């Protein structure tokens, strides 16, 4: 099967490596002038992995799109809308192609899920799924397996993509609640920021409480939005906590820790943007999100981190 991966950062390069690893014909696309693409072209590797020669590298978006049966999109979530417009501008018939969104986030300013953004720009008849769940590139390329989830509006597409991407390295589950899967996957990065802040203060023992209350507050939001509140306890959210709240590889956890300890952190931490969208959803659906509100107050309102975290965990007594 011909698979094109659009986006050549950490996860994009992994998705290209993985699709090649399980026997597909793979093209990896990066923007013209991309330093990530330039490094891969020159050395066939980045700080995470080495790409085999069988993976084709290109900055020709039209060529990468036209040749693919499946298109994996792995870019910053906040760039998705403009990128979809770039796809439309190509003038290529996309109706027969299957798309997989391999990023986690919500659109700032609208709070919209990524599939909603995709449908708005490319049309509601397009076939698109999300691929989320636990795991780190560094572990996968060492042969350490994990479980992930693919979810789509139609189960037929979900099954097709699970069949295309399953292997002994990644066991996929069928996601039956697209809304809950997307909200859960996006919001776990915000809980990861809070976990890193606790690590920065040496309060790591509080992460158990953070996990319990974090899943609870997001389950109420998912239910209010019309999804299944139990989805948050699956692979897209709670199942990803180890990789996001505890792992040294987690960008969101590391961002939170470095914020407290005063170290600079230059890599992408999607939770910084996602928390803005979650606060919009909190107001729209009248659901209190105390952990998300605390993270927002610290990062965006520049409130005192220690004071805010202590207020969060010392809130008035109530039933669990």
What is the CATH classification number for the domain harbouring 166?
3.40.50.720
pLDDT tops 90 at residue 293: yes
Residue 320 lies in a domain: no
DSSP per-residue string spanning 184-233: HHHHHHHHHHHHHHHHHHT-GGGHHHHHHHHHHHHHHHHHHTTS-GGGGG
Residue 6: beta bridge partners?
Answer: 29, 73
Q: What is the pLDDT of residue 315?
A: 62
Question: What is the spatial distance between Cα 270 and Cα 187, in angstroms, rounded to a whole number?
Answer: 9
Q: What is the pLDDT of residue 314?
A: 76
Q: What is the pLDDT of residue 313?
A: 83
Handedness of CA 241, 139, 262, 255 (dihedral sign): negative
Structure tokens at 62: 């039209």
CB 184 within 8 A of CB 278: no
What are the angstrom distances between the C-alpha of 137 and each of 13, 142, 151? Answer: 9, 9, 21
**Strand pairing of 146-152 and 127-132?**
antiparallel
Reported as a single tens digit per residue, the pLDDT across 186-209 is 999 999 999 999 999 999 999 999
The total number of structural domains in the chain stands at: 2
Do 191 and 170 share a structural domain? no
Q: pTM score, two decimals?
A: 0.93
Q: What is the pLDDT of residue 92?
A: 96
| Residue 299 banded pLDDT, cuts 50, 70, 90 | very high
Which backbone phi and psi does 113 adopt, to 5 degrees?
-70, 160
Q: Which helix (H) or strand (E) holds 110?
A: none
Do 206 and 108 share a structural domain? no
Local structure of 56: helix, strand or coil: strand
Q: What is the pLDDT of residue 316?
A: 47
Question: Sheet containing 127-132: which strands, arranged edge to edge?
Answer: 56-58, 25-29, 2-6, 70-73, 98-101, 127-132, 146-152, 170-175
Do 140 and 75 share a structural domain? yes
pLDDT tops 50 at residue 245: yes
Q: What is the pLDDT of residue 205?
A: 94
Q: Is 267 annotated as a binding residue?
A: yes
Local structure of 168: helix, strand or coil: coil
Residue 319 lies in a domain: no
Buried/exposed 249-258: b ≥16 CB within 10 Å, e otherwise: bbbbbbbbbb
Lowest-confidence segment of 42-56, 250-264, 301-315 by average pLDDT = 301-315
Reported as a single tens digit per residue, the pLDDT across 76-125 is 999 999 999 999 999 999 999 999 999 999 999 999 999 999 999 999 99
Q: What is the pLDDT of residue 267?
A: 80
Do 155 and 119 share a structural domain? yes
Contacts of 281 (CB under 8 A, 6+ apart): 106, 111, 221, 225, 287
Q: Which of 52, 62, 48 is nearest to 4 (CA)?
A: 62
Q: Is 104 annotated as a binding residue?
A: yes
Do 147 and 40 share a structural domain? yes
% the chain with pLDDT above 70:
98
Which backbone phi and psi does 64 adopt, to 5 degrees?
-65, -40
- Out of 125, 156, 176, a domain closes at 176
Active site residue 303: no
> Which residue is listed with tokens 């919209």?
112
Residue 86 lies in a domain: yes
Residue 152: beta bridge partners?
Answer: 129
Q: Is 131 annotated as a binding residue?
A: no
Do 143 and 43 share a structural domain? yes
Residue 162: beta bridge partners?
Answer: none
CB 281 within 8 A of CB 111: yes
pLDDT tops 50 at residue 271: yes
Average pLDDT, the chain: 95
Q: For residue 204, what is the domain's CATH number?
A: 1.10.1040.10
Local structure of 131: helix, strand or coil: strand
Q: What is the pLDDT of residue 269?
A: 87
Q: What is the pLDDT of residue 319?
A: 56
CB 72 within 8 A of CB 3: yes
Q: Is 45 annotated as a binding residue?
A: no
| Residue 64 banded pLDDT, cuts 50, 70, 90 | very high
| Residue 13 banded pLDDT, cuts 50, 70, 90 | very high
Do 190 and 169 share a structural domain? no
Q: Is 253 annotated as a binding residue?
A: no
Do 236 and 134 share a structural domain? no
Spot the catalytic one: 45, 97, 112, 188.
Answer: 188
Q: Is 12 annotated as a binding residue?
A: yes
Residue 89 lies in a domain: yes
Residue 141 structural domain? 2-176
pLDDT tops 70 at residue 318: no
Contacts of 86 (CB under 8 A, 6+ apart): 61
Q: What is the pLDDT of residue 173?
A: 97
CB 41 within 8 A of CB 69: no
- Average of per-residue pLDDT across 139-167: 97
- Out of 152, 176, 200, a domain closes at 176
């Amino acid at each position: 099967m011909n698979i094109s991966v659009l986006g050549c950062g950490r996860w994009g390069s992994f998705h290209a490596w993985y699709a090649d690893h399980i026997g597909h014909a793979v093209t990896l696309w990066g923007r013209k002038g991309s330093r990530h693409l330039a490094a891969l072209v020159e050395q066939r590797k980045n700080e995470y992995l080495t790409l085999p020669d069988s993976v084709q590298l290109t900055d020709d978006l039209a060529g990468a799109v036209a040749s693919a049966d499946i298109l994996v999109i792995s870019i910053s979530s906040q760039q998705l809308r403009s990128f979809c417009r770039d796809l439309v501008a190509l003038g290529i018939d996309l109706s027969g192609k299957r798309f997989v969104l391999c990023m986690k986030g919500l659109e700032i300013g609208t709070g919209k899920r990524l599939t909603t953004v995709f449908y708005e720009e490319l049309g509601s008849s397009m076939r698109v799924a999300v691929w989320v769940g636990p795991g780190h590139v560094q572990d996968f390329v060492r042969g350490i397996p994990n479980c992930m989830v693919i979810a789509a509006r139609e189960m037929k597409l979900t099954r097709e993509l699970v069949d295309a991407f399953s292997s002994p390295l990644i066991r996929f589950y069928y996601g039956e609640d697209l809304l809950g899967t997307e909200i859960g996957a996006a919001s776990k990065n915000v809980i990861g920021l809070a976990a890193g802040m606790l690590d920065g203060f040496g309060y790591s023992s509080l992460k158990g409480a953070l996990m319990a209350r974090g899943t609870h507050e997001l389950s109420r939001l998912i239910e209010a939005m019309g999804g299944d509140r139990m989805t948050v306890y699956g692979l897209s959210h709670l199942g990803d906590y180890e990789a996001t709240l505890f792992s040294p590889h987690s960008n969101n956890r590391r961002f939170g820790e470095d914020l407290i300890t005063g170290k600079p952190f230059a890599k992408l931490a999607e939770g910084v943007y996602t928390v803005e969208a979650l606060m919009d959803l909190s107001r729209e659906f009248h659901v209190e999100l105390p952990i998300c509100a605390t993270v927002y107050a610290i990062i965006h309102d520049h409130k005192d981190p220690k004071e805010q975290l202590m207020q969060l965990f010392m809130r008035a007594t109530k039933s669990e």
